[in-house]
């Protein structure tokens, strides 16, 4: 996207006015944390994997014992025991001997190698190889994935199932996540009626409140419907003022121009500071943004497709900022 475009400039003005990571932290059980925004870095409490382990079924041997093996001079090892997954230690490996291992078996330090089952020929109590093996062949060393003290999960990440698996592997039962922002949703217009009412001539059912509430939920917020506002400035201002006290963000659809006046722009000015008064782009005039008490006010068109587009371009960006989410500026949706 062109960084100098009117849309991007408007998004940046809005984002710069919103306090970053404005939501407080709250604990969240791993089972409920998918899709939540991580509040602070999670450091690795232990090396992963936590011990050296085999990554294939076969036999662990001293590497030096394999050096002379060839097709012309095979080397045979006695099977001296077994290291099962879950065993707490690997017995000493004597020269000329191998220990049977499975994927996940604990292995020692030093120059040892795993001879995979398909790399050898089994006999009665022994196995034979016909080539040398490199040190630590098919050995996954302790801490090769991540070291103790390294950042396991970064603040601002939207938690995925994989992230939660990593946290569980560290023995964690919960994570600190950003509280979901409460978004006060308003529909507006004298012609707008609840979507459950019978349609009458000249009326329009309110589909925006349902659609935008779902979009808020999808973007990580909690929608609270504050009703359909008539074209009555004083009443609308009183209800919006009540919402500013209790919600973390206001989302208004429709009502951007009433009787030739900038109804919603004036409303935003009365509540706080007007940041964006229209965007020079397709259907951009109804896009009005402001801030009051450090809380964004996002005003979008009444036409449902443009209302959703406006939310995705500005509402999602505002929620990302409040949550401290790692995310770029949403691009235009044609």
Q: How far apart, in whole angstroms, are the C-alpha atoms of residue 272 and residue 278?
A: 17
Q: How far apart, in whole angstroms, are the C-alpha atoms of residue 212 and residue 161?
A: 26
pTM for this predicted structure: 0.82
In this structure, how many other beta carbons lie within 10 angstroms of the beta carbon of residue 162? 8
Write down the pLDDT at residue 260: 46
Positions in the chain whose pLDDT score sits under 70: 1-3, 256-262, 282-284, 333-334
Write down the pLDDT at residue 207: 96
According to DSSP, the residues that pair with 178 across neighbouring strands are 25
Question: 178-230 pLDDT, tens per residue?
Answer: 999 999 999 998 899 899 999 899 889 999 999 999 999 999 999 999 999 98
Domains and CATH numbers, the chain: 6-23+180-323 (3.40.980.10), 24-42+151-178 (3.90.105.10), 53-140 (2.170.190.11)
Helix (H) or strand (E) holding 27: strand 25-29
- Looking at 97-199, list the stretches that DSSP marks H as alpha helix, in order from N- to C-terminal side: 161-169
Burial per residue of 60-74, b for 16 or more beta-carbon CB atoms within 10 angstroms, e otherwise? bbbbebbeebeeeee
Handedness of CA 46, 47, 52, 54 (dihedral sign): positive
Length of the chain: 334
Write down the pLDDT at residue 322: 97
Handedness of CA 254, 259, 264, 270 (dihedral sign): negative
Q: Is 21 left (phi over 0), alpha (psi -120 to 50) or beta?
A: left
Cβ-contact 266, 309 below 8 angstroms: no
Quick check: helix, strand or coil at residue 277? strand
Write down the pLDDT at residue 60: 98
Mean pLDDT of the chain: 93
6-17 vs 316-323: helix axis angle to the nearest 10?
Answer: 30
Of 247, 290, 269, 216, the closest CA to residue 22 belongs to 247
């Amino acid at each position: 996207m062109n960084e100098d475009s009117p849309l991007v400039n408007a998004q940046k003005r809005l984002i710069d006015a919103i306090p970053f990571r404005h939501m407080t932290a709250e604990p969240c059980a791993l089972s409920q944390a998918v899709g939540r925004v991580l509040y602070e870095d999670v450091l690795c409490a232990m090396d992963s994997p936590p011990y050296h382990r085999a990554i294939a079924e076969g036999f662990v041997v001293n590497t030096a014992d394999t050096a002379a093996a060839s097709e012309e001079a095979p080397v045979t090892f006695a099977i001296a025991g077994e290291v099962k997954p879950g065993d707490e230690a690997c017995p000493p490996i004597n020269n000329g001997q191998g220990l049977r291992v499975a994927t996940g078996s604990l292995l020692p330090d030093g120059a040892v190698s795993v001879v995979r089952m398909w790399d050898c020929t089994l006999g009665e109590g022994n196995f034979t190889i016909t080539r040398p093996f490199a040190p630590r062949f098919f050995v996954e060393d302790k801490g090769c994935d991540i070291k103790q003290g390294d950042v396991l999960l970064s603040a601002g990440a939207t938690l995925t199932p994989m992230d939660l698996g990593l946290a569980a592997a560290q023995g964690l039962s919960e994570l600190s996540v950003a509280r979901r922002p409460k978004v006060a949703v308003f529909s507006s217009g004298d012609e707008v009626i609840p979507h459950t009412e019978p349609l009458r001539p000249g009326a329009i059912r309110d589909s925006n409140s349902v659609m935008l509430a779902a979009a808020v939920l999808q973007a990580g917020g909690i929608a609270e419907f504050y009703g359909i506002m008539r074209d009555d400035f004083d009443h609308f201002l009183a209800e919006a003022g009540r919402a500013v006290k209790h919600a973390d963000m206001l989302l208004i659809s429709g009502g951007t121009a009433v009787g030739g006046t900038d109804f919603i722009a004036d409303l935003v000015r009365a509540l706080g500071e007007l940041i964006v008064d229209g965007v020079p782009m397709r259907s951009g005039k109804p896009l009005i943004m402001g801030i009051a008490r450090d809380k964004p006010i996002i005003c979008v068109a009444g036409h449902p497709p443009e209302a959703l587009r406006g939310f995705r371009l500005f509402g999602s960006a505002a929620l990302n900022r409040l949550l401290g989410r790692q995310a770029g500026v949403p691009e235009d949706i044609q």
